[in-house]
Amino acid sequence: MLERTPLTAWTLAALLSAPLAMAQDASDPFAEIPDEAAAAAPASQPAPEPAGDADPAEVDDFGAGNEGDGAAGADTGSADDFGSELESEYGFDPADEFSSAEEPEDRDPWEGFNRAMFRFNDTADRWFLKPAAVSYRQITPVFMQTGISNFFANMHEVNNVLNNILQWKWGQAGNDTGRFLINSTVGVVGLFDVAQHMGLERSDGEDFGQTLAVWGMESGPYLVVPFMGPSTVRDAPAIVVDWYTNPLTYLEDNAVENTLKGIDLIQLRASLLQTESLLQGDRYVLMRDAYLQRREFLINDGEQEDDFGGDLDEYDF
């Protein structure tokens, strides 16, 4: 195990540095390729209308939410109409829901770099990860998807327990330890979540980035990490610690380790397919604001304050 650690570190460094070098190019290597048929048509010819009575909100699995940043932001009217439809149907507009009173330049001073990394990750997702996730959802029975999700969630309980202890959350550490022991034995290596039926509910999860926040470290600017996605200056280095506290990292067989981690990644991506349909308009801004608010929610263990600084949990609604 110790002999392959330097090779793994060099591999991670190479994967992280490749997109950084590509981002230095002034041209956008990930710009959308224009439709050849549309380019060949005369400028005066109007665009064809959609066939039939198809709902514009309905898209296939391979095309949902994959428009480029420029194309998504060009038609602001359609984005506003979509936001109005979501507000009437679901009771909220994602742009307002994930907005923040903090100035964008304070949260995201490296927006140019982050948008380049966002396009890189989005292109890699579009061509590789998302098709694999769609195929996984289509060919895998639902009960198997549930079992696979339970298995990896049980593996992550180890990381939860370690960070609970580092944050002095002894009650939650006991809960997550009990879940791991019960599900690893009675639950057949975690395929069945038996612990929840015994009163041990699954938590939102802990990671080392949350631990650093509890210890008082500021989040720093927003940062999009190549291949990893949204993060912050504080959370990005913590990914390395989480990698070493993952039990799957210590499997002796590299092929088994990489296969299991690949399945975990595909299963996680498949769980986000439906949520992705809500990302319309400037997808970069929506994902950034959603990530930052989600991190604050996890760090504060769900405790939120109103605009006047009062704890909302003090009031009984």
Q: What is the average pLDDT across 190-219?
A: 94
Cα–Cα distance list, 65 to 24, 130, 280, 281 (Å): 26, 11, 7, 9
Structure confidence at residue 77 (pLDDT)? 45
CA separation for the pair 7, 17 (Å, rounded): 15
Q: What's residue 29's pLDDT?
A: 37
pLDDT tens by residue, 228-265: 999 999 999 999 999 999 999 999 999 999 999 999 99
3-state SS, the chain, equals CHHHHHHHHHHHHHHHHHHHHHCCCCCCCCCCCCCHHHHHCCCCCCCCCCCCCCCCCCCCCCCCCCCCHHHHHHCHHHHHHHHHHHHHHHCCCHHHHCCCCCCHHHHCCCHHHHHHHHHHHHHHHHHHHHHHHHHHHHHCCHHHHHHHHHHHHHHHHHHHHHHHHHCCCHHHHHHHHHHHHHHHHCCCCCCCCCHHHHCCCCCCCCCHHHHHHHCCCCCCCEEEECCCEEEECCHHHHHHHHHHCCHHHHCCCHHHHHHHHHHHHHHHHHCCHHHHCCCCCCHHHHHHHHHHHHHHHHHCCCCCECCCCCEHHHCCC
Predicted confidence (pLDDT) at residue 61 exceeds the cutoff of 50 = no
Give the model's pLDDT for residue 67.
42
Report how far apart the first and last C-alpha atoms of the chain are (Å, whole number): 54
The rounded distance, in Å, linking the Cα atoms of 260 and 144 is 15
- Residue 196 — pLDDT band, cuts 50, 70, 90? very high
Over the stretch 160-179, which tens digit does the pLDDT of each residue have?
Answer: 999 999 999 999 999 999 99
Q: Which is more confidently placed, 243 or 76?
A: 243
Give phi and psi for 224, each to the nearest 5. Answer: -95, 115
pLDDT value at residue 302: 77
The more confidently predicted of residues 136 and 56 is: 136
Contact 59, 279 (CB under 8 A): no
pLDDT tens, position by position, 2-32: 444 444 544 444 444 444 444 434 334 334 4
pLDDT of residue 249: 92
User: What's the whole-number mean pLDDT along residues 97-105?
Assistant: 54
The pLDDT, as a whole number, for residue 304 is 60
Q: What's the pLDDT score for residue 229?
A: 92
pLDDT confidence tier of residue 104, bands split at 50, 70 and 90: low
Q: What is the mean pLDDT of residues 85-102?
A: 49
35-to-38, 40, 46, 58, 218 alpha-carbon distances in Å: 5, 9, 15, 21, 45
From CA 176, how far away is CA 173, in angstroms rounded? 5
Confidence of residue 276 (pLDDT cuts 50, 70, 90): confident
Strand 229-232 to strand 222-225: parallel, antiparallel, or no bridges (unpaired)?
antiparallel
| pLDDT at position 281 | 82
Average pLDDT, the chain: 75
Confidence of residue 278 (pLDDT cuts 50, 70, 90): confident
pLDDT at 298 over 50: yes
Arithmetic mean of pLDDT, 255-282: 89
How far is C-alpha 254 from the chain's CA centre? 25
Residue 94 has pLDDT above 80, yes or no: no
Structure confidence at residue 128 (pLDDT): 94
